[in-house]
Amino acid sequence: MTKTTDSKFHDTGYKELFSYPEMVQALIEGFFPEEIAQLVDFDSLTPQPGNYVTPLFDEKIEDVVWSIDVNIEGQRQPIFLYLLMEFQSGVDCAMPLRFMHYVAGFYSTLIKNGKFSKYGPYPPVFPLVIYNDQARWTAKTNIADQIEPVPSFLKIYQPSLNYFLVDEGRYSDEELASIANPVTSIINIEQAKTLEDYQKAFYRAGQIIRAHPHKEGIDDILTQWFKRTLHKRGLEVNIENMMTLTRSDGMLAENFENLTRQIYAEGKLEGEQRGQLEQAIKMIREFNLSVELVAERCHLSLKELKERLSQNDKPEV
């Protein structure tokens, strides 16, 4: 898959993810500034049209836009959460300028559609970039920082617009574990490189889903996204037979079988019997799977697997 195709895949996948209010709420609760997260009314989350053309770049924009009520000094005021999913191959240093046009285009569309008067007042916005490339984001987050220094009396005439950045790769494993919500499950899978990484990501996702007040909906949303991601990565996942993340005998076992087969084929796990047994034991302990199921899926001797498991369980003398 080419970089362009990969970016389109992520762009489409993320837009689908954040078309659900449960995922937008998780994003706000886990990653937004605390002073904003504490003031919003999540029951008021409403999707808004995100299709328009910017005046200068002549781009046809199809972004995710939500409105949500915020209590500001005792008064409810709707704020449009402008979600721009940024999945380019490199950092886009023109993002502050692009956001100037995106927001202007968004306002123009609201006026054109009769949502607001051209005389104002216009609704406040909260521009946001969600970025998932491996290199860290280094572009400025305010257009004002890209303008040459000017005398103090000219500063008030210069444009200024901040956007909020969620740079997925910036968060450590410990930080993600402390947040522990559906969005961190997405980031854990994005960052997974080894079989052990996938195991941990699935395990954490299952824990998060089971504790979520809307666990059935979140389970379905994340499962569909995980299926597409695993398939895109060429892991030979049998999508039709996969169940949900919280049914270990379904999706998890199915993924273990296919992930293990793929890794063996690539030579990442040498075919030594000891290595296979140790990997199987990890699956059993990490995900509380039955010995019989793992032995069958990994094509191992049930007797040898039980003996090795028994040896590992013996206390050290």
Tens digit of each residue's pLDDT (9 = 90 or more) over 249-269 = 444 545 555 555 554 555 444
Residue of 187, 98, 82, 87 whose CA lies nearest to 141: 98
Residues 238-250: tens digit of each pLDDT: 444 445 666 544 4
* Cβ-defined contacts of 15-21 (< 8 Å, 24+): 15/62, 15/63, 15/64, 15/85, 16/225, 17/186, 17/221, 17/225, 18/64, 18/83, 18/85, 19/47, 19/64, 20/217, 20/221, 21/45, 21/66
Q: Check residue 166 and give its pLDDT.
A: 92
Q: What is the pLDDT of residue 159?
A: 94
Instruction: Supply the pLDDT for residue 241.
Output: 47
Question: For residue range 271-300, what is the model confidence (pLDDT) as tens digits?
Answer: 445 566 777 777 677 656 678 877 776 667
pTM flag (> 0.85): no
